[in-house]
């Protein structure tokens, strides 16, 4: 009898799953490795979930809106588009997966930059598709001409970028859209922390897709809600390959409540940005190189007490953080990122703990 691997599609046994950031199960950690919001969601979110659970949770026996219709309408209102330009997913990862289902195959490549979100090649590989990777250099300038000449059917661009935090202007995105003939997917997971976003460009370009998440700025990472804004024809294609009831009832009401409390989240976003900029300035005074961040994290190149930087220095600080039960993210597999650490912006107390650990490392590390 053949084994399950022998019965599977030929490419599947060789796939590698996406590796998420560590989620510790024991207490006491300062968790700054997955860019979660350090503050609680709006009280309206909790109230909406509690309302949905009234009467012994009787509503839970019923399927949710299959298209997330009320949430689509709210998202359309927030962004000044029509509901026909909106699709909702089980996190933005679900949306990215739908996009690869529609536009990715083995005959024409799917493109993305490096460094960027490491889920992109995983999703393309699942579809047995081809990829075209365009690498940034240390300047992190957007390679407009290389994207235009890539030949990709769809190109995924994380803006602001992860893991560097660098934001791209609409003028730069417009330059890509004017020259790239495929679908440009602008993954705006961190757009609420940036000064500019691509939503206004939707009125000009049918080949633009803007992807958003409520995991970062809206403190709903545990609810898994994301969405895309695009031309109605593109949304129709995505709906054709979307799983039925892909967003559960509680997630829909939580997201709807969050998007209805803009003032609460504006205050949180403002606080995170002020904390981000404060610590970027503090650590830059140690002569650390830090990319100007348009996100809720800082991508820093640490220097040790001898003034040295590099992969070994970054690894030393990463391990020292772990010894202090502080989680940050390292990216050791590529020369451009190996000497850096990505530190999510936490609460004031969490950031003080990080700074105290840095000072101890500078004093005690070999």
| pLDDT greater than 90 at residue 14 | no
User: Could you tell me what percent of the chain has a pLDDT over 70?
Assistant: 99
pLDDT tens by residue, 53-70: 987 777 888 999 999 999
The mean pLDDT value for 325-348 works out to 96
> In this predicted structure, what is the pLDDT of residue 317?
97
* Residue 345 phi, psi (nearest 5): -80, 120
With cut-offs at 50, 70 and 90, classify the pLDDT of residue 2: confident
Please, what is the angle between helix 348-364 and helix 311-323, to 10°?
A: 120
Q: Does residue 96 contact residue 156 with C-beta atoms inside 8 Å?
A: yes
| pLDDT greater than 80 at residue 289 | yes
Domains annotated for the chain, with CATH where assigned, are 4-31+263-364 (3.90.1150.10), 43-261 (3.40.640.10)
> In this predicted structure, what is the pLDDT of residue 365?
65
> In this predicted structure, what is the pLDDT of residue 11?
85
Separation of alpha carbons 198 and 217, rounded Å: 17
| pLDDT greater than 70 at residue 18 | yes
pLDDT tens by residue, 252-278: 999 999 999 999 999 999 999 999 999
- What mean pLDDT is reported for the chain? 94
Strand partners, 297: 344
Q: What is the largest CA-CA distance in the chain?
A: 66
pLDDT tens by residue, 196-248: 999 999 999 999 999 999 999 999 999 999 999 999 999 999 999 999 999 99
Q: Which residues, including other chains, have CB under 8 Å from residue 301's CB and lie 6 or more apart?
A: 288, 289, 290, 309, 314, 339, 340
Lowest-pLDDT range of 15-19, 164-168, 360-364? 15-19
Q: Does residue 162 contact residue 190 with C-beta atoms inside 8 Å?
A: yes
Q: Is 224 left (phi over 0), alpha (psi -120 to 50) or beta?
A: left
pLDDT tens by residue, 80-137: 999 999 999 999 999 999 999 999 887 779 999 999 999 999 999 989 889 999 999 9
Task: Give me 126's structure tokens.
Answer: 């699942």
Q: Does residue 238 contact residue 98 with C-beta atoms inside 8 Å?
A: yes
Q: Which residues, including other chains, have CB under 8 Å from residue 66's CB and lie 6 or more apart?
A: 244, 245
> In this predicted structure, what is the pLDDT of residue 264?
98
pTM attached to this predicted model: 0.95
pLDDT tens by residue, 350-365: 999 999 999 999 998 6
């Amino acid at each position: 009898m053949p084994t399950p691997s022998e019965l599977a599609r030929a490419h599947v046994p060789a796939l590698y799953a996406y590796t998420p950031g560590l989620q510790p199960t024991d207490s006491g950690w300062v968790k700054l490795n997955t860019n979660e919001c350090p503050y609680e969601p709006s009280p309206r979110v909790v109230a909406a979930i509690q309302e949905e659970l009234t009467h012994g949770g009787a509503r839970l026996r019923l399927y949710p809106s299959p298209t997330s219709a009320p949430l689509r309408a709210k998202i359309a209102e927030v962004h000044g588009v029509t509901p026909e330009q909106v699709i909702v997913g089980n996190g933005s990862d679900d949306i990215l997966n739908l996009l690869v289902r529609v536009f990715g195959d083995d005959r024409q490549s799917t493109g993305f930059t490096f460094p960027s979100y490491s889920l992109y090649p995983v999703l393309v590989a699942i579809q047995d598709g081809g990829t075209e990777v365009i690498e940034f250099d240390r300047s992190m300038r957007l390679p407009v001409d290389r994207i235009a000449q890539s030949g990709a059917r769809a190109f995924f661009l994380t803006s602001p970028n992860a893991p560097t935090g660098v934001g791209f202007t609409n003028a730069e995105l417009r330059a890509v859209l004017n020259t790239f003939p495929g679908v440009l997917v602008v993954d705006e997971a961190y757009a609420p922390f940036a000064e500019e976003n691509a939503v206004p460009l939707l009125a000009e370009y049918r080949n633009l897709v803007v992807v958003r998440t409520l995991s970062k700025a809206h403190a709903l990472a545990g609810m898994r809600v994301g969405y895309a804004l695009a031309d109605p024809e593109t949304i129709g294609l995505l709906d054709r390959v979307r799983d039925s009831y892909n967003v559960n009832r509680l997630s829909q009401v939580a997201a709807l409540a969050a998007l209805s409390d803009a003032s609460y989240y504006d205050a949180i976003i403002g606080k995170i940005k002020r904390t981000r900029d404060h610590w970027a300035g503090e650590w830059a005074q140690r002569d650390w190189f830090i990319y100007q961040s348009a996100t809720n994290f800082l991508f820093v190149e640490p220097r040790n007490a001898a003034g040295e930087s590099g992969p070994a220095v970054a690894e030393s600080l990463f391990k020292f953080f772990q010894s202090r039960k502080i989680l940050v993210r390292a990216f050791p597999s590529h020369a451009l990122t190996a000497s850096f650490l990505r530190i999510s912006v936490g609460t004031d107390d969490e950031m003080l703990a990080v700074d105290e650990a840095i000072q101890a490392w500078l004093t005690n590390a070999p």
